[in-house]
Amino acid sequence: MTMRVTQGMTSRSILQDLDNSRSRLGTIQREISSTKRISKPSDDPFGTGRTLQLSSELEGFKQYKSNVDDGTGWVTATEASLSHITETLQRARELLVQGGNDSNGQVAREGIAAEIEALTEAVKQEANVTYDGRFIFAGTETETRPYELGANDEYAGNEGSIKRVIGTGVELPINVNIKELLGEGNAAGDNKLLDVMRDIATDLRGGTEENAENLRGTDLSRLSDNLDELTRVRAVVGATTNRLTTAGTRIEQLEEASLQQLSQVRDTDMPQAIVEFSTQQTAYETALRAAAQIIQPSLMDFLS
pLDDT, tens digit, 9 for 90 and up, residues 153-171: 999 999 999 999 998 889 9
pLDDT of residue 267 exceeding 70, the answer is no
Helix/strand/coil for 172: strand
pTM above 0.85, yes or no: no
* Residues 88 and 123: beta-carbon distance below 8 Å: yes
Q: Evaluate the CA torsion angle 189, 195, 196, 202 in order and state its sign.
A: negative
Between 146 and 258, the more confident residue is: 146
pLDDT of residue 288 exceeding 90, the answer is no
What average pLDDT does this structure show over 131-152? Answer: 95
Q: Which amino acid is at 185?
A: G
Instruction: Name the helix (H) or strand (E) containing 181.
Output: helix 179-182
> Is 14 within the bounds of a domain?
no
CATH assignment at residue 255? 1.20.1330.10
pLDDT of residue 33 exceeding 90, the answer is no
> Is 302 within the bounds of a domain?
no
What is d(CA 112, CA 95) in angstroms, rounded to the nearest whole number? 6
Closest CA to 89 of 242, 284, 283, 230: 230
Closest CA to 232 of 91, 17, 86, 133: 86
Instruction: Name the helix (H) or strand (E) containing 34.
Output: helix 7-34
Helix/strand/coil for 202: helix
Model confidence band, residue 207 (pLDDT cutoffs 50, 70, 90): confident
pLDDT of residue 127 exceeding 90, the answer is yes
> Is 292 within the bounds of a domain?
no
pLDDT recorded at residue 99:
87
> Is 62 within the bounds of a domain?
yes
Q: How many domains does the chain have?
A: 1
Between 9 and 224, the more confident residue is: 224
> Is 172 within the bounds of a domain?
yes
> Is 173 within the bounds of a domain?
yes
What is d(CA 298, CA 26) in angstroms, rounded to the nearest whole number? 32
pLDDT of residue 189 exceeding 90, the answer is yes
What is d(CA 178, CA 181) in angstroms, rounded to the nearest whole number? 5
> Is 210 within the bounds of a domain?
yes
CB atoms within 10 A of CB 188: 15
pLDDT, the chain, mean: 83
pLDDT recorded at residue 54:
74
pLDDT recorded at residue 303:
46
Domain hosting residue 125, numbered range: 55-261
pLDDT recorded at residue 49:
77
> Is 36 within the bounds of a domain?
no
CA distance to 89, 188, 219, per residue, from 224 (Å): 9, 20, 9
Model confidence band, residue 255 (pLDDT cutoffs 50, 70, 90): confident
Q: Which amino acid is at 203?
A: D
Tens-digit pLDDT profile for residues 83-122: 999 999 999 999 999 988 877 788 999 999 999 999 999 9
Model confidence band, residue 55 (pLDDT cutoffs 50, 70, 90): confident
